[in-house]
Amino acid sequence: MPVIKYPRIRDPLFYEWDRKAQKCGLRHTIYAVNGDQYTGEWLDNLKHGKGTQIWKNTGAIYSGDWKFGKRDGYGSYSIPDPVTKEYKRVYTGWWENDRRGGRGVFFYPNGECYEGEWSNGLRSGWGKMQYKDGSVYEGQWLADQHNGQGLLRLPNGNRYEGGWKDGKKHGPGKYFYLDKGQQLEGIWVADIPKCGVLVDFDRDSAPAPPQYPLPEIELHDPAGVLTEARAMFDDSYN
């Protein structure tokens, strides 16, 4: 039986031209239509590996790791100062899927600084925040707010150690009034102490103690009110 041979079907030439035009490996600066520019590594026509991107509209620069066209890995993001035109660091740390993810340091325009963990571009996990007024919070975060256990130090030396929820004191905690030489231990709800015990604490070295010391009393809680309140709160919070 005779064998019929058909001519080999070839792809159109523009397919071959397109394959040759795909960017892979290390390339010189590539300019986008909008004026953005990228210098670095590519894979299958996507930014992948080490590279530096400059956005024309803002002048911002990102230099670091890329993965399939998105910032992913370790990198630094900076913007130019509108007056001096010098570049100022905004964020240095880890990225996931084009957002801040993992550990990193973020510098805010007003001088505040956060160093800690991120998730989906938000402060989440353990971190330390230095505020403009001199306050410092170190502890757990969730979705950009204090959540969990944390320590807040105020500029006057006072501090709070304990639970937080949605950015407010919430749960068992201790507030040290170092300026007065007193300590309040109790239960907070939405930044308000609901019950607790106030005692003198290092009163002799306090800069502005109250005129009269608190009377010394023997704590007597036959009904276990404070203990029971703490246990009930822990059960509901967990």
Query: Is 90 exceeded by the pLDDT of residue 21?
Result: no
Instruction: Name 17's Cβ contacts closer than 8 Å, sequence gap at least 6.
Output: none
Q: Label residue 214 by pLDDT band (50, 70, 90).
A: low
- Count of structural domains, the chain: 2
CA 139 – CA 93 distance, rounded (Å):
19
The tokens describing 125, both together, are 């996990």
Across 109-130, average pLDDT? 97
| Range name among 133-147, 148-162, 222-236 with the lowest pLDDT average | 222-236
17 φ/ψ angles, rounded to the nearest 5 degrees: -65, -40
Do 154 and 77 fall within a single domain?
A: no
Q: Is residue 81 part of a domain?
A: yes
Query: Is 70 exceeded by the pLDDT of residue 207?
Result: no
Q: Label residue 211 by pLDDT band (50, 70, 90).
A: low
Q: What is the 3-state secondary structure (H, E, C) of the chain?
A: CCCCCCCCCCCCHHHHHHHHHCCCEEEEEEECCCCCEEEEEEECCEEEEEEEEECCCCCCEEEEEEECCEEEEEEEEEEECCCCCCEEEEEEEEEECCEEEEEEEEECCCCCEEEEEEECCEEEEEEEEECCCCCEEEEEEECCEEEEEEEEECCCCCEEEEEEECCEEEEEEEEEECCCCEEEEEEEECCEEEEEEEEECCHHHCCCCCCCCCCCCCCCCCCCHHHHHHHHHHHHHC
Q: 234, 224 in Cβ contact below 8 A?
A: no
Query: Is 80 exceeded by the pLDDT of residue 195?
Result: yes
Q: Is residue 6 part of a domain?
A: no
Higher pLDDT pick, 7 / 59: 59
Q: Is residue 111 part of a domain?
A: no
- For residue 215, what is the domain's CATH number? 2.20.110
The tokens describing 51, both together, are 């590279």
Do 54 and 141 fall within a single domain?
A: no
Q: 158, 151 in Cβ contact below 8 A?
A: no
CA 78 – CA 207 distance, rounded (Å):
43
Q: Is residue 117 part of a domain?
A: no
| pLDDT at position 36 | 95
Do 188 and 227 fall within a single domain?
A: yes
Residue span of the structural domain in which 224 resides: 125-237
The tokens describing 101, both together, are 């993810």
| pLDDT at position 236 | 54
Q: 27, 42 in Cβ contact below 8 A?
A: yes
Share of the chain above pLDDT 70, in %: 76
Do 66 and 165 fall within a single domain?
A: no
Do 93 and 129 fall within a single domain?
A: no
pTM: 0.78
pLDDT in tens, 80-107: 998 888 999 999 999 999 999 999 999 9
Do 162 and 213 fall within a single domain?
A: yes
Across 7-17, average pLDDT? 53
Which residue, among 62, 60, 43, has the nearest Cα to 51 in the 3D structure? 62
Q: Is residue 158 part of a domain?
A: yes
Higher pLDDT pick, 195 / 23: 195
Do 37 and 131 fall within a single domain?
A: no
Q: Is residue 106 part of a domain?
A: no
| pLDDT at position 112 | 97
Query: Is 70 exceeded by the pLDDT of residue 8?
Result: no
Across 11-28, average pLDDT? 55
Do 21 and 55 fall within a single domain?
A: yes
pLDDT in tens, 142-152: 999 999 999 99
CA 163 – CA 185 distance, rounded (Å):
12
| pLDDT at position 222 | 44
